[in-house]
Chains A and B, each alone.
Chain A
Amino acid sequence: MLKGTLDLLILRTIEIQPRHGLGVSDRIAQITGGTFVVKPGSLFPALHRLEQEGYIEGAWGESDQGRRAKVYRITAAGRKRLTTERRSWDRIVTAVGQVLDPA
């Protein structure tokens, strides 16, 4: 996975709907059809870092299966960060596309 992409994926996933840790990785795996599998060893450090940096916040609640879990939601700062990350991602995609398929 490209460096920085994980943050982007996590932020986008919980922007749509607050989720607990495993919920985030399940959702990413589901949407990408198994292309991206985020292992817990990468997921949890990233979640905690993003939380400490103030982009997401976690609170104890219930998972979609009704279990007690720490559920993360995006913050205002997180939304802003997501917008900038998205923009730069788009730029990269466009740029790489132009290299691969010159007009």
Chain B
Amino acid sequence: MPIGARMRSAWRTITRQSALDADLDAELQAAVDELAAAHRAAGLQPADARRRALMDLGGADQVKEQVRDARVGAPTLTLLRDMALAWRGLRKAPAFTLAAVVTLAVGVGANTATFSLVNAVLLQPLPYRADDRLVFVWGDMTAAGYPRGPLSGPELTDLREQAARFEGFGAIWATTAALTGDNDPQQLRIGLVTGNFFSLLGADAAIGRTFMDEDEPTAAPDTILLSDGLWRTRYGADPAIVGQRVLVNDQPTTVVGVMPPGFRLLMPPDSNVPEQLEAWQPFARDLPRRLRGQMFLRVVGRMRDGVSVDEAARDVSAVAADISSRYAEYGSAGRRFTTVGLHDDGVRDLKPALLVLQGGVAVLLLIACINVAGLLVARAAGRARETALRLALGAGRHRLVSQCFAEGLVLAALGAIAGLATGWILLRLLTAARPPSLDRMAGVGLDPTVLAFTAATALAVALAFSFAPLAEMVRANLLALLQQGGRSLGSAFHHRVRKGLVVLQVAMGVVLLVGAGLLVRTFANLTTVQPGFDDRGVLTVRLALPASRYGTQASLDAFARALQSRLAALPGVTQAGAISHVPFDNIPNWSTTYLTEAGGDESRARRADSRAVSPGAFATLGARIAEGRDFTEDDDADGELVAIVDERLARTAWPGASAIGQRLVTDPRVTGHPTVWVKVVGVVRHLRHLTLLEEVREQVYFPVRQAHRNPMAWLVRTTADPAALAAPIRATVAALDPQLPIFDVRPLSDYVAGARATQRFTMLLAAVFAGLALLLASVGVYGVIQYGVTRRQPELALRVALGAGRGSVVRLVVGEGARLALAGLVLGMAAALVAIPAIGSQLYGVTPRDPVSYLLALPVLAAVALAASAVPAWRAARVNPADGLRAE
């Protein structure tokens, strides 16, 4: 019979059941009538004739049953019926069903969410041609505090010329550019790239083209490549924009193409190349001839086929060694390069965390399975007598198997649906709470393959375990079952093993709970940390002055002075100032070399983070001048060259002496040569602008009128809500120069919150998983106690019959739950004491053995034990004394 016809028949069997049955009834009735007529003809009384006819037929109902079983699709129909039956049964046991479904949902959901992340972040290749051939080259400046730093233009050229195992090298540097003319002025985050950058990656434009070597200009770039986002928001997705001219930094610039939507630059997170740049422009041709000490290039190389990363790294290291031997500029002595796979390096920070997470949720799934099995066994025990009775009355074992199967199927289906919802919510939660360093997580969706896999796992688990109680039942002695009401089910040994597993679950929950507690305390401490400035009440905006109109130091200074005095005069504003870097803005960090005496070995100079500030910037930030003075308007091009250093640099450079009046030879313009003498006029408290956790690196501040920087960030301190200042600031800037785009309008507290984002994420993650683990543990405790109550039902009934109060029965059951929880608590505490120091580096302001976090676990555990024992205790309290006696 063809499969199609068979399917149609099966479909008919299922959907037209009653019509088919009615037809069958009529046919059999006719047969009985015919047989009875024959018997009557042979002389039997009508009643006897009819009885004989039915006997001939072998029982009308039996025949009907046989016909139904013979129908095409009959097994499916039976399964559907059993599933409907199972559904009704599950609805009658809401506590069991809820516990099982929640357990499966947590297991499936957590696995789906995490594996979707792992798959998208770790397993998916980068969206570039042959991404396994791409490497990233870091300049290793560990001695200066920069183990992963950039390269300079000449160094890129050295690599291109000497590293033979490569097809080529390209470089990128993230900066900003002003887009004006056709619309509101807009500051863009752009990537300056070498002409070969996109072809090296193997990324093509959606419209037009990417860059070619010929696009590299002799002076300012005159071509631009748009991102899909910018093309849509600014140019209304008009394809005709390609080939037209726009004004970039006041320079007529041809749009060469538009990148596809979803094109992302997946560079290592600490390379300061944002994933979502708005446009790209080519570097000028003089890149190879720029200063060797001016290191800013993020370099990507493409290895030739068949070359391993190790071989490629040897090539690159040889180039570094050659540079060391030939040049004596800053950083060239002992120059070392590190070569790493682009994909591996991009997920370097994420990988261990994600793998730990994945391992954790896999264990969670295992626990979920054990719990569901436990619940099913408890349920089977509760129904043991009913099952035994059905077996005794002749129910076929295959029917019982089929019904168990159906129940497992329904449970698994419910669990998978609930798991899908859980997974979706978890994934949304995780991606929404991601810190900037995990931006790669953005846009990760539930992976259908993963979902199918976990749902299948849930199914397999539910099915496998739905047979477990049955296997015991079939083995069990029927008579004993009937007599004892199911107490022989599951040996005492099994029960002990399950109790042990539950204790382990509780212990795991406790470890996670203590960890989460510590991370919550860490986060709380981070919100009160003193970073050396006061982030409340300050709004920051960024301004870039186009070189075409602000080409001279005098014009820049005039604009800055005018703007600062107008900002300071705004209503509610107490202070205003400008700084080249806002704390935690992740703008590539300018750092400068310095020597304390003339004639020192400049290739081994110390390095300090360098910032340019306007007079009043420190006061606006709320930073405290510890010694000496702040910059003034007199510290300008005509004044003596001065600097302010932080306490850290002052201590390192002049231990035991005052820094005021000391002189440094340094490099305010980042030329690569410390050649400029400056006098220290002030010492400022260290500003934490890279990490809240500790003071890192020394800092030197130059007056912006002497060390000009562009763009600058403007800081405005107000007594009112800083967000309300955005409009007045825009108006003030527009009044001075209507063609000037304002960008990055954000409260200073935003940046600081961003610096806490990683800790916030870890805290959230730990809290969520502690919650899930405890939920599972309480389901585990519930399953075991429920089973215990079922086993001991006759005993409990006997106690009640003999006059024990209901209260004592409840105490008995709750006591059992409390014992399990207590055992888990003790074990968990011990495990936490051993294991938690491993995350010591993630903690701030609390020790890994912080008693508060440990004590916090107590009430939570008490609640878990109570919640898990509540339903069984209620059941035990309602036990009918007569039932217990009868059962004995």
Contact = CB atoms under 8 A, between A and B. Distances in A.
Interface residues of A, number: 23
Given A22-B31, A67-B34, A53 B67 contact: no
Interface string A17-42: 00011100000000000000001111
A41 B31 contact: no
Interface stretch (A8-16, A43-51, A83-91, A94-102): A43-51
A1 to B, nearest CB: 16
B57 to A, nearest CB: 5
B131 interface: no
Interface in B22-47: 23-24, 26-28, 30-31, 33-35, 37
B72 A44 contact: no
Given A40-B63, A52-B9, A68 B58 contact: no
Interface string A53-66: 11000101001010
Contacts of B397: none
B1 interface: yes
A41 B5 contact: no
A22 B34 contact: yes
A11 B599 CA distance: 113
Contact of B71 (A40, A41, A49, A54): A49
A45 B33 contact: no
B69 interface: yes
B13 A52 contact: yes
A70 interface: yes
Nearest to B69: A45
Contacts, number: 67
B841 interface: no
Contacts of B33: 67
A45 B57 CA distance: 13
A40 B58 contact: yes
Contacts of B9: 52-54
Contact of A65 (B12, B24, B34): B34
A54 B70 CA distance: 14
Given A46-B70, A49-B71, A53-B9, A21 B31 contact: yes
Contacts of A65: 34
A67 B58 contact: no
Nearest to B58: A41
A82 to B, nearest CB: 15
Nearest to A50: B70
A102 B478 CA distance: 55
Contacts of A54: 1, 5, 9
Interface string B58-78: 100011001101111000000
A15 B248 CA distance: 91
B17 to A, nearest CB: 13
A46 B13 CA distance: 15
Contacts of B57: 40-41
Contact of A44 (B1, B5, B37, B63): B63
Nearest to A40: B57
A53 B72 contact: yes
Given A21-B27, A22-B34, A48 B1 contact: no
B30 A48 contact: no
A87 B27 CA distance: 32
A11 B181 CA distance: 90
Contacts of A39: 58
Contacts of A40: 31, 56-58, 63
Contacts of A21: 27, 31
A15 to B, nearest CB: 19
B30 A68 contact: yes
A69 B34 contact: yes
The winner among B1, B13, B30, B37 for most chain A CB atoms within 10 A is B30
A36 B58 CA distance: 17
A42 B58 CA distance: 10
A54 B31 CA distance: 23
B278 to A, nearest CB: 67
Contacts of B58: 39-41
Nearest to A39: B58
A65 B6 CA distance: 35
B34 A44 contact: no
A58 B1 CA distance: 18
B13 A44 contact: no
B72 to A, nearest CB: 5
A85 to B, nearest CB: 14
A69 B5 contact: no
A54 B62 CA distance: 24
Contacts of B34: 22, 63, 65, 67, 69
Given A40-B63, A49-B72, 8 more contacts: A22-B31, A46-B70, A49-B70, A52-B9, A60-B26, A65-B34, A67-B37, A70-B27
Interface of B: 1, 5-6, 9, 12-13, 23-24, 26-28, 30-31, 33-35, 37, 56-58, 62-63, 66-67, 69-72
28 contacts: A20-B30, A21-B27, A39-B58, A40-B56, A40-B57, A40-B58, A40-B63, A41-B63, A41-B66, A42-B66, A44-B28, A45-B69, A45-B70, A48-B70, A48-B71, A49-B70, A49-B72, A52-B12, A52-B72, A53-B1, A53-B5, A53-B6, A53-B9, A53-B72, A60-B26, A63-B34, A67-B30, A70-B27
